[in-house]
Chains A and B, each alone.
Chain A
Amino acid sequence: MAKSIGNALIVGGGVAGMQAALDIAAQGFGVCIVERSPSIGGRMAMIDKTFPTLDCSACILTPKLSEVLRHPNITILTNSEVGSVSGKAGDYKVRILKKARYVDEEKCSGCGDCATECPVEVPSEFDQGLGFRKAIYVPFPQATPNVYTVDMDNCIMCNRCVKVCEREAIDLEMVDEIVEFDAGAIIVATGAQLFDVSAYPRLGYSLYDNVINAMEFERLVNAAGPTGGHLIRLSDGKVPMSIGFIQCVGARDVQKGVPYCSRICCMYSIKNAVMAMEHNPDAKVWVYYADIRAFGKGFEEFYEMAKARFGVRFLRGRVAEVMQGTHSGNLVVKVEDTETSEIRLIEHEMVIVSPGMIPPEGMSKLARKLGLPMTDDGYIKIEHSFFGPVATKDPGVFVCGMADGPKDIPDSVSAGSAAAMKATIILAKGEE
């Protein structure tokens, strides 16, 4: 791989990491993105529409995906994780574990013949387990790189894909590799994950079929999702005429170890509520909230529009319980309307629980490898809110996106650019 000075390593290929990579590469430095999943794109690729403009998420993300892929200064290592890191600012030695994908990235053209042939169907992680994929798959149509991956846990070694592949790209004997990379600076852009809302049994998630989480809702209304974009109940195919969104689940809750605000859930739920109305203008849509935090550019205006133009109903109160009726599969939300002090029982045909964000799996392990301190909440600790909002204790390691705490897309992108700026100051010093 390229020479040591003038290269940056980016851990995580979501929208923040991609932005950082592009801004570093634009200055002529080399960048290596290490991404754990088979494709870059992160959470944003899974989202249907974005607030506050209702832009289609995939549509605005794909130009960035191709830009990253095509950039001559950017190397993408998918299915890969940081193994070990040594050295110091300006001169890090990184060992990257590149897991076998059983498909030769150079040979695969992404034609999909293998997946057509593959007899094994398993729930698709990208579709939140609501749709299916084959044991050899790309996670989503715009996956970058557009290279298939064999999921060895589910592969039955029937070799049908190997035979059908005209380019002879599939090698089921492939083994994991260690890639060594010399970097002058490192950017942590690992993102975050959704809180597991089944930790609140009273809200019925994982107990009742028609209680789903917000990311499942995103896939359900997405044209490329498991229902082709039809908002229906997966339990019985019924179009839900009454939908409730429950806020602050796994956020602002000291008892559950998530005392902080997750910052995005209010807005994504208002957006989801609007999407529900767009899919079915006759539906009745409720949002149960504690405070509506519409703080970003254009957010408050979007919240007003959801109320005034779409007629989304907002009820201030933490939901006590979601109960299921015996026959219809319908649900009853029990909640105190804190503005009227009334206890209400409201029937819904579908309930969406809006999870907060928590640090991604493996965050503490990565922090240990990089020698970085963490916050009590389990995110990477930033150096200082004003003097180093994207800096860490290590002067050559920076952080952006959700790796230091929940952020929406524009804030993640902005932080990605900021981390790139700081990294290039170090890379340029090495060049002198």
Chain B
Amino acid sequence: MTQTDDPRIGVFVCHCGHNIAGVVDVEAVAKMAESLPNVVFSCDEMFMCSDAGQQLIRDKIEEHNLNRVVVASCSPRMHEPTFRRVVEEAGVNRYLFDQVNLREHVSWCHTRQPEAATEKAKDLVKMSVARARVLEDLPIKTVKVLATTLVVGGGIAGLRAALDIGDRGFDVLLVEKESELGGHVAKWTHLFPADESGAEVIKPLIKDVKAHKRITTLTNSKVIEFDGYIGNFEVTVENLKTEKKQKFDIGTVIVATGFIPFRPYGYFAYGESPDIVTLAELQELAPSDQLLKPSDGTPVKKIAFIGCVGSREPGVKGHEHCSRHCCAATAKAAADLREKIEEVLILYQDIRTYGKGHEEFYRLARRRHVIFSKFPRDAKPVVTVKNSEVHMSWRDVLADRELTFQPDLLVLATAMIPPEDIAETAKMFSLTRSGDGFFNPEHIKLAPLTTHTAGVMIAGASQAAKNASESVIDASGAAAKAVGLMAKGEVEIESTVSHVLSELCSSCHTCITVCPYGAINMDETVDPPVAFVTEAKCRGCGTCASACPSSAIIMYHSTDNQIMTMVEAYLCSPAQLEGGEPQ
């Protein structure tokens, strides 16, 4: 680490339109900053993130020979990379930039106290300037990315991702825990919005995957160990039949572990009669000219569907989400079946036929006299089984009337929920999960396919309930992310990592125990062994540094000195810091 010349700090206070300036007196904040030690330039500007704002920073760095930059704007989560890049373009090391969050931390949470908010903003800027004075530049490091992708899950998403990556000229290791590739789609006889069966869709993909010279497929297999960091992961795969274990070195990962259809025990008498099935079970029935009652093999003349089974249940953990695919799948199945079945009834809350061609199924079903009846969300239909007959009663919201029906077959359109072992998968790849139980993407809007674990992508229903076509799109997209990393062959990693001063380490192992990322190991080659940090795995959380009883760990970019300086700047006046009396 090099100590740079005398700090020459520039402070840029952002209005963020009215987001900040509507509450905080940004001019006053910028004016105050001028008086702070080592600040040689300070101003306020409408949008620091805009091209004009960025140019302003570059110009002022040059004009005033700035070597530290403080931007007081929004959360660093979004724009720290932007500003780091800007200062770097002007020749200032990215780690000599500091960002103050005047929006989320000030204007948005103190909307009704503009004066106090302005004071808080001033304090935060003071602290940041103090920190900037003692920031140190850090090196920019890269690691290589191995040209192989691990695809976990051989359903429609995993197959598509594997094929795209293989076709693009990179190697793929495809791991599937079942004995056959194809996932759920392979078992389904109707697949909307196409007329093909699931098998017809999946077979060509499996054939291409098996024939592809760049794709290695391991079925009956499971990833049991996952270690390493972006570009350089070590994976152990176990064959569940033979218990044989193999190790692989890979560069990127796509998790396409999919979903399972919810089996709705406790809902609508499911399990009490063979004539009550889920939509997934209906889709798996062997194709025949006539739909037959599972109980006695007689033709089904009356069929009913109930929507949102295990979906859209506020307050029920893991069942609050909409399962997205079921409305259109139900409409399609109902429209198809209506050609041979006299009465087809669908009980629903909302009809969500949103996608391409979906509304057409809905209209087709109505045209074929499929009966749609809306039930109130707070009074779900009641299903009972008496003398092996299925009885349903519910209130039709639109007719405002209690109705009953006795279907030969009742189909429950159940939720898509995560597979049982999702918690294990999440832990293995350090992925977080959202309320629906599925994996969290890096950003729900703009980064739906990447995750917070660098180098690990998610695709298909592992991210959220979705249909097969959407999963295919995701899969190709996730493949692009993996290839993007591998084609370049190397990737930058953060230098905001911890570092063990080996001469102070007492070999107590505390840091190893607390590190949530498994980034610390003991170097056994020296005696006594000392802890060391694998920098590419370190996420810079600082847990180890605060836990170390010997103060042997430095957290770069958040050193004790850098933090204490901020605290002092908040508590003391500049005069006091110089040893003078309080003002």
Contact = CB atoms under 8 A, between A and B. Distances in A.
A324 interface: no
Contacts of B322: 294-295, 299-300
A404 B355 CA distance: 11
Interface stretch (B78-86, B90-98, B383-391, B527-535): B78-86
Nearest to A410: B448
Interface in B453-473: 463-465, 468-470, 472-473
B47 A141 contact: yes
A340 B399 CA distance: 8
Nearest to B399: A341
Contacts of A15: 446
A424 B74 CA distance: 36
Interface string B290-302: 0000000000000
A110 B51 contact: yes
A422 B352 contact: no
A322 interface: no
A308 B314 contact: yes
B269 to A, nearest CB: 25
Given A261-B359, A375-B356, 18 more contacts: A19-B446, A52-B444, A56-B19, A66-B85, A70-B85, A142-B51, A261-B354, A261-B355, A294-B322, A297-B434, A301-B435, A384-B194, A386-B194, A405-B356, A410-B444, A418-B476, A421-B479, A428-B169
Interface in A250-265: 252, 254, 259-261, 263
Nearest to B321: A300
Interface residues of A, number: 84
A228 B158 CA distance: 47
B36 interface: no
A227 to B, nearest CB: 10
Contacts of A385: 193-194, 356-357, 468-469, 472
B360 A27 contact: no
Interface stretch (A98-106, A143-151, A231-239): A143-151
Contacts of A296: 324, 464
B51 A144 contact: yes
Contacts of A424: 168, 480, 483
Given A263-B355, A293-B354, A413 B78 contact: no
A61 B50 CA distance: 11
Interface in A9-52: 15, 19, 23, 26-28, 50, 52
Given A413-B445, A414-B473, A421-B480, A304 B352 contact: no
B480 A295 contact: no
A417 B446 contact: no
Nearest to A263: B354
Contacts of A346: none
Interface string B176-192: 00000000000000010
Contact of B448 (A60, A384, A413): A413
Contact of A386 (B168, B196, B359, B446): B196
A154 interface: no
A259 B78 CA distance: 39
B400 A414 contact: no
Given A261-B358, A338-B398, A293 B350 contact: yes
A390 B471 CA distance: 12
Contacts of B477: 23, 413-418, 420-421
Contact of A341 (B16, B19, B79, B400): B400
Size bracket of the B interface? 35 or more
A417 B447 CA distance: 10
23 contacts: A26-B485, A146-B51, A223-B18, A261-B355, A261-B358, A263-B354, A263-B355, A294-B322, A295-B322, A295-B354, A297-B464, A298-B435, A300-B320, A375-B356, A384-B194, A385-B193, A385-B356, A386-B472, A389-B472, A404-B356, A414-B477, A416-B477, A424-B168
A339 interface: yes
Interface of A: 15, 19, 23, 26-28, 50, 52-53, 55-56, 59-64, 66, 69-70, 109-112, 141-146, 222-224, 228-229, 252, 254, 259-261, 263, 291-301, 304, 308, 338-341, 375, 382, 384-387, 389-390, 404-405, 409-411, 413-422, 424-425, 428
Nearest to B19: A223
Interface in B376-435: 376, 397-398, 400, 434-435
A418 B449 CA distance: 11
Given A63-B79, A298-B434, A417-B476, A23 B359 contact: no
Nearest to B20: A223
10 tightest Cβ-Cβ pairs between the two chains A and B: A417-B477, A146-B51, A223-B17, A418-B476, A26-B484, A297-B464, A421-B480, A223-B18, A291-B350, A27-B487
Given A291-B351, A300-B312, A66 B54 contact: yes
Contacts of A52: 444
Given A26-B487, A62-B49, A261-B359, A298 B472 contact: no
A429 to B, nearest CB: 9
Contacts of A252: 359
Interface in B197-246: 201, 204
Nearest to A423: B480
A27 B473 contact: no
A367 to B, nearest CB: 16
Contacts of B488: 26-28
B134 interface: no
Nearest to B52: A110
Contacts of B78: 59-60, 63
B478 interface: yes
B22 interface: yes
A143 B51 contact: yes
A308 B315 CA distance: 12
A416 B465 CA distance: 20
Contacts of A404: 356
Contacts of B443: 60
B136 interface: no
B62 interface: no
B474 interface: yes
Nearest to A379: B356
Contact of B359 (A228, A260, A294): A260
A428 B484 CA distance: 12
A55 B78 CA distance: 11
B275 interface: no
Given A297-B321, A297-B436, A421-B483, A63 B81 contact: yes
Contacts of B193: 385
A228 B23 CA distance: 13
B100 interface: no
A404 B424 CA distance: 38
Contacts of A411: 470, 473
B156 interface: yes
Most chain B beta carbons < 10 A, residue from A61, A70, A146, A410: A410
Contacts of B52: 110-112, 141, 146
A223 B357 CA distance: 38
Contacts of B472: 385-386, 389
Contact of A414 (B55, B363, B449): B449
B49 to A, nearest CB: 5
Contacts of B324: 295-296
Given A52-B444, A261-B354, A145 B480 contact: no
Nearest to B89: A70
A327 B127 CA distance: 56
A141 B85 CA distance: 20
A28 B356 CA distance: 33
A389 B18 CA distance: 41
A291 B328 CA distance: 14
Contacts of A294: 322, 352
A137 to B, nearest CB: 14
Contacts of A420: 477, 480
B329 to A, nearest CB: 12
